[in-house]
């Protein structure tokens, strides 16, 4: 059973398979080799192996009867063809070795829809939420509500069909090899979207300033993406994930949950409400060069399905608003990316270097960097109050933005 990389396989298909085997009463811990990520079933002599394509040697070295590709959109056509050459396990009369692929139909022009489905030895099976008897009524109601919000989202999530046209909000994130930690800027911060029945998401942000006068490139790591996580559980997880000497770093949170934010502050974290300007926040974050990781399971998947609302009659985007469905990582991304970095965007266009603190009296100062510390003046009144400090600063160089 495969994902594109093993960390994703471990967090999804391996955990789910173990859970189901326990429910069926056939799981035996002694048959689960956690070092080699495989489960044996002695009555039939079968073995299930959990792997990623980043472990090709493991896949090469065995003769397989069946390959299951979970989240097939992550794989390439070349991956599929190569995996087909691994189906060399011996079979009895009437048996066949097969590849199984599961997908959500988000990529109408991808290789699965444009090439694979046209092959003569391929069978396509469709299923929707109606085939799943275990869903809560709350989740079913959320799905059905998409019908009146956005036709594309309804087609994908409810009907299991490919969307007509595309209104995906963010371009694909870069999935290149990350540099070592020493290459990153010292700036680290976080974004949180709270949940319970829906996932709580915590993202870590780091940057690399590659070009002077431009926004830094952003590197995002998914720390938490889980349902049924109360705030005390969240605090416990954050205590383990964020080093004690880094808890003064900003955490930009879902502003609709002030009580949760207060609890984080009492626990010693520098938590604050994130800016919830959805339209401007999305517009700003679309301009960022974002690097992700394959193991950012929720973050990457939500990006693929995060779409603008579309008028069902005209097909036009409605008010530049996103569909409110499976957007928890996207909200955490906006809280962190927009709230923390948008002030820098305001600094860049009108940078002025000043000698000996001399500045024209008619400059309306918005931001000043004095002795490498950024001071923000969000209103003219506050600016006037502190203007003397800026104008009379005795340091050799001061940067002022208007």
Residue 13, domain CATH: 3.40.50.300
Contact indicator for 193, 254 with CB cutoff of 8 Å? yes
Domain total in the chain:
3
Tens-digit pLDDT profile for the chain (402 aa)? 999 888 888 888 999 999 999 999 999 999 999 998 999 999 999 999 999 987 777 787 778 999 999 999 889 899 999 999 999 989 888 889 999 999 988 777 789 988 999 898 999 998 999 999 988 999 899 899 888 776 777 888 888 887 655 678 998 899 878 888 888 988 999 999 999 989 999 999 999 988 877 789 999 999 999 999 999 999 999 999 999 888 999 999 999 999 999 999 999 999 999 999 999 999 899 989 999 998 898 999 899 889 888 776 766 777 778 988 889 999 999 999 999 998 765 543 333 333 333 344 434 443 444 333 444 444 444 444 444 454 444 332 333 333
Nearest to 218 by CA among 173, 276, 171: 173
Exposure b/e, 239-264, CB count within 10 A at least 16 = b: eeebeeeebebbbbbbeebeebbebb
Identify the pLDDT of residue 163. Answer: 67
Asked if 189 and 290 sit in the same domain, the reply is yes
- Is 370 domain-assigned? yes
Domain annotation covers residue 350 = no
Which domain-ending residue is among 81, 110, 125? 125
Residues 244 and 187 in one domain: yes
Residues 221 and 192 in one domain: yes
Confirm whether 30 is domain-assigned. Answer: yes
Domain assignment of residue 199, yes or no: yes
Q: What is the pLDDT of residue 353?
A: 35
- pTM of the predicted protein model: 0.61
Whether residue 192 sits in one domain with residue 117: no
Of 87, 108, 125, which residue sits at a domain end?
A: 125
Cα–Cα–Cα angle for 231, 236, 264, nearest 5°?
50
CA angle 336, 338, 343 (to 5 degrees): 115
Q: Looking at the structure, tell me whether residues 337 and 365 fall in a common domain.
A: no
Judgement on whether residues 339 and 362 belong to the same structural domain of the protein: no
The verdict on 340 and 237 lying in the same domain is yes
Q: Which domain holds residue 193?
A: 181-295+329-344
- Indicate if 8 and 111 belong to the same structural domain: yes
Domain stops at, among 91, 125, 159: 125
Residues 279 and 256 in one domain: yes
Same structural domain, 333 and 390: no
Q: Looking at the domain assignment, is residue 144 inside a domain?
A: no
Are 340 and 233 members of one domain?
yes
Does residue 81 sit in the same domain as residue 194? no
When computed from its CA atoms, the radius of gyration of the chain, rounded to whole angstroms, is 25
Identify the pLDDT of residue 118. 87
Return d(Cα 48, Cα 41) in angstroms, integer. Answer: 8
> CA 157 from chain center: how many Å?
18
Could you write out the three-class secondary structure of the chain?
Answer: CEECCHHHHHHHHHHHHHHHHHHCCCCCHHHEECCCCEEEECCCCEEEECEEHHHHHHHHCCCCCEEEECCHHHCCHHHHHHHHCCCCCCCCCCCCCEEEECCCCCCCCCHHHHCHHHCCCCCCCCCCHHHCCCCCHHHHHHHHHHHHCCHHHHHHHHHCCCCCCCCECCCCCECCCCCCHHHCCCCEEEEEECCCCCCEEEEEEEEECCCCCCCCEEEEEEEEEECCCCHHHHHHHHHHHCCHHHCCCEEEECCCCHHHHHHHHHCCCEEEECCCCHHHHHHHHCCCCEECCCCCHHHHHHHHHCEEEECCCCCCEEEEEECCCCCHHHHHHHHHHHHHHHHHHHHHHHEEEEECCCCCCCCCCCEEEECCEEEECCCHHHHHHCHHHHHCCCCCEEEEEC
C-alpha dihedral, 284 to 288 to 291 to 297, nearest 10°: 20
* Residue 241 region by backbone torsions, left for phi larger than 0, else alpha for psi between -120 and 50, else beta: alpha
């Amino acid at each position: 059973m495969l994902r594109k990389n093993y960390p994703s396989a471990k967090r999804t298909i391996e955990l789910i398979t173990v859970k189901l085997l326990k429910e069926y009463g056939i799981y035996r811990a002694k048959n689960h080799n956690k070092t080699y990520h495989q489960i044996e079933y002695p009555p039939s002599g079968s073995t299930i192996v959990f792997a990623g394509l980043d472990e090709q040697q493991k896949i090469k070295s065995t003769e397989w009867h069946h390959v299951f590709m979970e989240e097939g959109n992550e794989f390439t056509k070349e991956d599929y063809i190569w995996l087909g050459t691994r189906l060399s396990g011996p079979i009895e009369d009437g048996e066949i070795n097969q590849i199984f692929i599961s997908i959500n139909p988000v990529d109408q022009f991808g290789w699965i829809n444009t090439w694979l489905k046209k092959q003569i030895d391929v069978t396509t099976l469709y299923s929707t939420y109606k085939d799943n008897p275990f869903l809560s009524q709350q989740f079913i109601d959320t799905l059905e509500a998409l019908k009146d919000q956005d036709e594309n989202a309804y087609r994908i999530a409810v009907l299991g069909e490919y969307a007509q046209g595309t209104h995906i909000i963010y371009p694909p994130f870069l999935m290149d090899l990350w540099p070592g930690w020493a290459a990153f800027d010292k700036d680290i911060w976080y974004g949180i979207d709270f949940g319970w029945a829906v996932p709580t998401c915590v993202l870590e942000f780091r940057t690399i300033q590659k070009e002077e006068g431009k926004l830094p490139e952003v590197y995002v790591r998914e720390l938490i993406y889980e349902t049924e996580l109360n705030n005390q559980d969240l605090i416990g997880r954050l205590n383990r994930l964020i080093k004690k000497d880094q808890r003064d770093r900003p955490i930009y949170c879902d502003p609709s949950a002030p009580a949760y934010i207060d609890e984080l502050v009492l626990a010693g974290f520098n938590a604050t409400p994130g800016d919830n300007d959805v339209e401007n926040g999305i517009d700003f974050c679309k301009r960022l060069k974002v690097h992700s990781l394959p193991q950012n399971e929720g973050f990457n998947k939500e990006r693929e399905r995060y779409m603008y609302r579309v008028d069902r009659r005209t097909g036009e985007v409605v008010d530049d608003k996103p569909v409110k469905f499976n957007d928890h990582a996207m909200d955490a991304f906006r809280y962190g990316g927009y709230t923390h970095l948008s002030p820098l965007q305001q600094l860049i266009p009108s940078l002025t270097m000043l000698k000996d603190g001399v500045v024209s009296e008619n400059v309306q100062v918005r931001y000043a960097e004095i002795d490498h510390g950024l001071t923000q003046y969000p209103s003219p009144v506050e600016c006037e109050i502190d203007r003397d400090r800026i104008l009379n600063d005795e340091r050799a160089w001061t940067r002022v933005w208007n």
